[in-house]
Structure 1
Amino acid sequence: MNEKPDWKGRRLRLEIGAVAHGGHCVARHEGRVVFVRHTLPGETVEALVTEDRGGGFCRADAVAVLEAAPGRVEPPCPLADMSRGTDRCGGCDWQHVDPAVQRELKAAVVGEQLSRLAGVEHPVEVLPLPGGPLRWRSRVRLAVDESGRPGFRAHRSHRVVPVRDCPITVEGALDGVTSRTWTPGSELGVTRDGSGGVHVTEYSVRSRGSAGRGARPTKRARKVRGTGTAHETAAGREWSVRSDGFWQVHPAAAERFAEVVARMADVPSGGRAWDLYGGVGLFAAVLGRQVGPSGEVVLVESGESAVRDAEANLSDLPQVRVRSGRVERLVAEPTIPAPHVVVLDPPRKGAGGAVVEAIAGARPRRVVHVACDPAALARDVGLFQGHGYRLARLEAFDAFPMTQHVECIALLEDTERDS
């Protein structure tokens, strides 16, 4: 019987191939696939295998560049420097890449996922948001090590890499946070809102019930700084939301995404729209303005705090009706009127078959799909195609510079209505 290979700890000389979804590039060695971080297509590197479960692939980190690609630059963060070996912060994937090349790589990933998972060939350009590639992250979660030092976890690891500063985090957010010690094993949520206020919450993990088997860990939140209510501005409105709730991380993202959704949705006055996974109501506000007092928008959200924020922030728009519950259950209810347009912004895993089927069954003219994961978007696009919808437009934004993540907004149109 052949033993499973175990290359963990081996150093390999690799010629790097195409970029792949997940913040790495693909190489091959002795008939196996190696997913290599901190590389670029076309490079030759020495890589250290960091994970090998014995299958057809393993994972590695580049530790020396033998032949560099033109897009390689010096990382702006010392915790991403190759001299640290595998002791690098896991928060950024592309610190070693020129920002314009980062966007090209992200576009290639989106295009490849659409082609492979949905069978769609569609041109993709990833556009930058204002402000540049650094100092854009307004919401950040830190882990605390056993000595009480805050930092970020290494890639695919629970190990904490302590930090004093983070060059992608907005100025002032970490002042007084990384310079002190915290409860070992806790987590910190830090938000710098649109008004300049900084909110810090410490989350300590505790066991509920007796220790040992059956004990359930719970998180206890303790506000350390700020009111816990973040104040933001977007879509011509002022917003008050929980500081640790959902809001776009990039300061320019909410405004830009609202503009794109409004343009793609184009709901007629007096029309009906669904805003699924609606959060605190950013897109529902845009849709509510389009349908006017005689129209109707149904916002569906499962998070209790987001529902409360949506109801408070949209209280001046009686045409917006907020429903609390899981999307897959509520969209199947006959009491929700059939929409002209559906906007959905699902979690990273995507909407999935049941939700797509329910939306398609309501037969909206247009579906606007907001996605932070290219693979999930491609799977959903493929499902919509099976129900007679086509990808009519795609706009992609580099809302998370220095990382693998990219935000896409896709417009799907009903082909059966056109025929």
Structure 2
Amino acid sequence: MTAAPGEIVGPVRVGPVAHGGHCVARVDGRVIFVRHALPGELVRVAITDDSHDRFWRADAVEVLEADPERVSPACPVAGPGGCGGCDLQHVSAAGQVAWKTAVVREQLQRLGGYAWPGEVEAVEPRWGWRTRLGLVTDDDGRTGMRRHRSHDVVPLPEGGCRIAAPDPVLMVDGVPTGPAEVVERAAGRDWRVAADGFWQVHPAAADTLVSAVLEGLEPRAGERAFDLYCGVGLFAGALAARGVRVWGVEYARDAVEAARRNLADLEGVRFSAGPVERVLDRLPARTDLVVLDPPRKGAGRRVLERAVARRPRAIAYVACDPAALGRDLGYLLGGGWRVRSLRAFDLFPQTQHIEAVAILEPGPA
């Protein structure tokens, strides 16, 4: 089979969902990752990338047999060839939860050997939720978002981005358009965060994740905890408010400075800046609890080895990528740990992304 970008192929019967916001189809032995489709649909696709020997990429541009969960996208630039920000506007709310559940289960089983029996939990609101928004400008000065897997700019439609909050923290070409620092409210207190720093973008995300971590760890006053990849101190603050002594570690020095300011009123909280795998060697030899909230690539074996060497009674792993979570779970499960609970949340509606909180404890799987 041969084809070139822009060529129409089909009819194609779409296969299962895959991590990355697409489904898998096969045509004459060729794997094609298809966006803007649902499993089981019969579609015609436009090839968008034929540069890989093992697979191609394509967009579903004509639906011949539609799945019952298909809906019309609310945004006029959310479809094939449009903005790359929303992967799933063509899928109903229930269908998105089912889609993400399938992805999480597959990634955890394949990469971690863990059979997750749960389902992704929906979180409101599903529209107008993105409190931080990054835009770019094209050569003509028009503001928009990148096309999927491209540097091309798709101008914002009339009415703006459908998933953006009414007054988001706005970045244009990487530069904040408003105050350099903003105040966020979560876990019962205010947090001062740099406009270009990290903070969860869904208004319910911070409280949802803090609640899941606290419920899972059941912290006790007087215990010790490590908050690794601590950012501006969200989980450290929640633990310290329960009477736990916390050591927070974050690579970004400006985030550590913000964490110290945010939690200056709490006793028993210390922060260090630097690579987590190195700073860990300077922390106490024992701890009761560990919170891990790594970037998308995950914590990795070196950090996990140093964390479990402290013999904590429980670990909370907060993940924004099910693949990284699966890989790291595989290491922990192989090292004598077991999953006590694992919850996943749809904190990025209309997109492929999820957040998950796994609670682990020593013992057989």
Where on the TM-score scale, by shorter chain, does this alignment land: which range? Answer: over 0.9
Partner of 1:209: none
Cα deviations by residue, 1:228-271 (Å, 9 ceiling, x for unpaired): 21111111111111111111100011111111111112222111
Which amino acid letter does the alignment assign opposite residue 99 of structure 2? Answer: L
**C-alpha displacement of 1:162:** 0.6
1:112 counterpart = 2:112: no
Partner of 1:57: 55
CA distance in 1, matches of 2:52, 2:183: 49
CA distance in 2, matches of 1:331, 1:385: 21
CA distance in 2, matches of 1:258, 1:125: 19
Which amino acid letter does the alignment assign opposite residue 195 of structure 2? Answer: S
Partner of 1:258: 210
Partner of 1:186: none
Partner of 2:232: 280
CA distance in 2, matches of 1:254, 1:114: 24
- Correspondence 1:12-91 to 2 at 5 A: 12-13=9-10, 14-81=12-79, 86-91=80-85
Which shifted more, 70-79 or 384-393?
384-393
1:316 counterpart = 2:265: yes
CA distance in 2, matches of 1:34, 1:110: 21
Partner of 1:149: 142
Partner of 2:349: 401
**C-alpha displacement of 1:138:** 0.4
Secondary structure of the structure 2 residue equivalent to 1:331:
helix
CA distance in 2, matches of 1:87, 1:48: 10
Partner of 1:211: none
Tell me the number of residue pairs that the alignment of Structure 1 and Structure 2 aligns. 362
- Correspondence 1:144-183 to 2 at 5 A: 144-164=137-157, 165-173=160-168
TM-score, length-normalised on structure 2?
A: 0.95
Secondary structure of the structure 2 residue equivalent to 1:332:
helix
TM-score, length-normalised on structure 1?
A: 0.83
Partner of 1:300: 249
Secondary structure of the structure 1 residue equivalent to 2:43:
strand
CA distance in 2, matches of 1:394, 1:254: 17
Aligned-pair RMSD on alpha carbons?
A: 1.6
* Greater length-normalized contact order (CA 8 Å, ≥ 6 residues apart): 2
Runs of 4+ that moved beyond 4 A: 200-204
Partner of 1:181: none
Secondary structure of the structure 1 residue equivalent to 2:33:
strand
**C-alpha displacement of 1:130:** 2.5
Would the aligned equivalents of 2:290 and 2:314 in 1 still touch at CA under 8 Å? Answer: yes
**C-alpha displacement of 1:54:** 4.2
CA distance in 1, matches of 2:268, 2:2: 61
**C-alpha displacement of 1:6:** 5.1
CA distance in 2, matches of 1:390, 1:102: 29
Partner of 1:269: 221
Partner of 2:292: 344
Q: 1:372 to 1:8 in 2, by over 3 A?
A: same
CA distance in 2, matches of 1:54, 1:257: 38
